[in-house]
Amino acid sequence: SLIGQSIGAILPVSFREQHHSGFARFKLTEQSKVVNHPLELATICSDGQTIRSEHYIVAEKDAASGWSFAATLRPLEGPHAC
């Protein structure tokens, strides 16, 4: 289960630095080109296999606790493809 964890855990190692840089940039600027837009990315499954999937990331800001992020992933290939 990834609830409460960084989505970086399921991204290929070669993409994690870009993910962390983009996340840091969003926290500074509060602007994003990827939030609320479907993204086709590689995802590492629990069995270690890498598949293509659609990621849809949302962000919500609360005055008391700051930013919260959530993502929905939809496999585009493999046994769970939609």
In tens, the pLDDT along 45-75 reads 888 889 999 999 999 999 998 998 888 999 9
What pLDDT is stored for residue 7 in this prediction?
75
Give me the amino acid identity at 5. Answer: Q
pLDDT band with cut points at 50, 70 and 90 for residue 82? low
Assign 71 to helix, strand or coil. strand
What pLDDT is stored for residue 76 in this prediction?
94
Assigned token pair, 56? 């849809």
Which has more pLDDT, 44 or 81? 44
- Which residues are paired to 32 by β-bridges? none
The answer to whether the beta carbons of residues 78 and 51 sit under 8 Å apart is yes
CA distance 82 to 32: 27
Mean pLDDT of all residues in the chain? 88
Strand order, beta sheet including 50-62: 38-44, 50-62, 66-75
Q: What is the pTM of this model?
A: 0.77
